[in-house]
Structure formats: C-alpha cells, structure tokens
Amino acid sequence: MKKLLVILLVLICAFGTVYAGGSSESKGLTLSASTGGMSASSAAGRGLAKFAELVNEYSEGAITVRVFYDTTLGNSTAVVSGMIQGTVDIGICGDSYYSGLVPEIQAFELPFMFESKEAARSAVNGEPGQYIIDQLSSKGIQGLAFWEIGFRQLTNNTRPVSSPDDLKGIKLRCLPATYQVAAWDAAGAIPVPMDVSELYSSLQQGVVDGQENPISEIYANRFYEVQKYISMTNHVYTPMLLSMSGLRWAQLDDAQKDIILRAAKDAQQEVYSINDAEEQQLLDEMVSSGNLELTSEIDSEAFREKMSASYDLFEKDYGSEFIDMLQAE
C-alpha cells in the first residue's frame, strides 16, 4: 500500500510540473491592451480591436487580448509607465509619450517634417522607426509596430486661423512635448501642454481656446462640439507606437512573439485604411453639423518659417543625425 501511495504521489507531482511548465496552448494566455485614453471608435481603438482579433486567430485561440478603451487603465502617460512596471501588457500611445525614454522620437513630430502620408509611413516603417524600437528595448518597452493618428489640424474658439498672425493670444493645447511647445510658442500661440484625456472639459470650460489633433481624434473625441473654427494646417504627422511591456515580452516564447508581431503589423494596415477612407468624410460631417467653420487656405510657408525654431532646439539637444535619417527616407 505504501509503495502504491508513493507511486501515486510521484505521478501527481510529475503531472503538476508538466502543467505548470506547459505552453500557452495548454493553459491559454491573456494579455491586457490599452488605448491610453483614446475611444473605441477612434482609429487606434478600432485598430486595437483588430489586433486582438488577429492575435486570437493566429494563435488559434491560445492567446486572448482584452482591450481597454478610454482611460480605463489610465491615460497614455500611465500606460507607458504601466508597461515598464509590467502592470499593463500592451499599449498604443502617441510617440511623444515615449519621449522620456527615447527623446529622439520627438523628431517625428517636428513641424512639416513630412510632405505626405506616404513619406511619413516610409520613415516610421524604415530605418528611423527601427532605431526608436531598438532604443526602447533597453528601457523596458518592446516596440511592435508604428501605427498613426495622422496629420494634425488646428481648431479654436477665437477666430479663423490661416497664418501665424492669427494665433496671437490663443491658448492652444498641444502635445506634452518640448519641441511642440517651442514650435507653437514661436508661431505666436500660447501653448498649454495637456493630456488628451483632459482636453474636452478644458475646451468646454475655456481653460484653453483651441487644440491641434488629427481629424480622426477631433471627431472621435467630439472636440468639434466645443470649437468654432478648424484650419487644415497639416502641420505635423503623428505616429502612434503599439508596444508591449518588456517584462511581459521576455516571458513569451518565440512562437508567441511571432504571433504578436504579425498581428501588430497586419493591424497597422487596418489603421491606415481607416484613416485613408474616413478623413474627408469625418471632416465633412463635422462641418455640415454647423459647429465648425472651415479654413482651407493656409499660409504653410509662414507657419513653416515660424515653427522652424523647434528644429534648431532639437539639433542643439540631440544633433542632426536622426533628423537626417528621417529626411533621407
């Protein structure tokens, strides 16, 4: 009897060891993913939903991604911090939120860096984008793929804006990034760095007079409800980086990593398609609602000249190597 009990105990321990060390296919793997303040209807929100769907499909149900929208897991700043600490598995955030880790990433958003979406996409998917991903990997963040919010436009409640002269006295919410603040200050506005999660109420209460965001975000966050004028400035292209906690990434095997990377790249195309198909449609809808007056004729050269001060500041801090890399793409 004692011999039988010993055999049973050995078998139970062996089974427990195999189960504990088994693959995600046997146990299942659940990951959390956050939009860092962006809504489910935004391009980022829909892209993250597509990413979760593709991960499930490519892993044949072995990996599940639970998507959290808006600020359920915190704003973008909190999500980046959470990924470093390992409390958030996956996040999609505008590139400026990674600037505390890799300051050079801010060069993507220097004013008028890219002449077209095609040029911008080539840069983030080429050598410059890979450089940033490599730098982040040593900071506790594993970059997966650059998505995009798109080219940014200007809205405000004070007056139509077609040139930098029209910005005088306008309190403008901008990205919490050094070179964005410098660019808008040089252009004549009063820049107010602020997380996007605080922006609607700040516009509504008059804390700021205006803001600048891509059309998809202006629409998804309903900023047009509390703004009177929109100017098609196309002043900055904003990429978003889908990334993963370095701690969580290190726990995955090679097959799991391949699935995550493949889904991230394929979902990128979903985001691109959404932005390409909907930008004009969303703009027309916002203007036709009667809330916004559209200004299409913009003195881009005047804006470019005024805002070029941010390039000088960037090069003073980090040299011109990364800017040269971007412009060579």
Q: Across the 329 residues of the chain, what is the mean pLDDT of every consecutive 10-residue run?
A: 38 34 57 93 93 98 97 94 97 92 93 94 96 97 96 97 97 88 95 90 97 92 96 95 98 98 98 93 94 95 94 94 91
Among left, alpha and beta (phi > 0; psi -120 to 50; other), residue 39 is beta
pLDDT at 176: 76
**Number of Cβ within a 10 Å radius of residue 305:** 14
**Global confidence as pTM:** 0.82
Dihedral of the CA atoms 221, 223, 226, 232 (nearest 10)?
Answer: -170
Nearest Cα to 145, choosing from 271, 273, 275, 261? 261
The highest-level CATH class for domain 27-328 is: alpha beta
The whole-angstrom separation of Cα 246 and Cα 198 is 28
Residue 75's Cα: distance from chain center in Å? Answer: 12
Q: What is the DSSP string of 157-193?
A: SS---SSGGGGTT-EEEE-S-HHHHHHHHHHT-EEEE
Strands 237-245 and 90-94 come out as antiparallel
pLDDT at 197: 81
What sign for the dihedral angle of Cα 188, 194, 200, 206?
negative
State phi, psi for 174 to the nearest 5 degrees.
Answer: -130, 175
- In the chain, where are the structural domains located? 27-328
The answer to whether 73 and 35 have CB atoms below 8 angstroms apart is no
Residue 215's Cα: distance from chain center in Å? Answer: 15
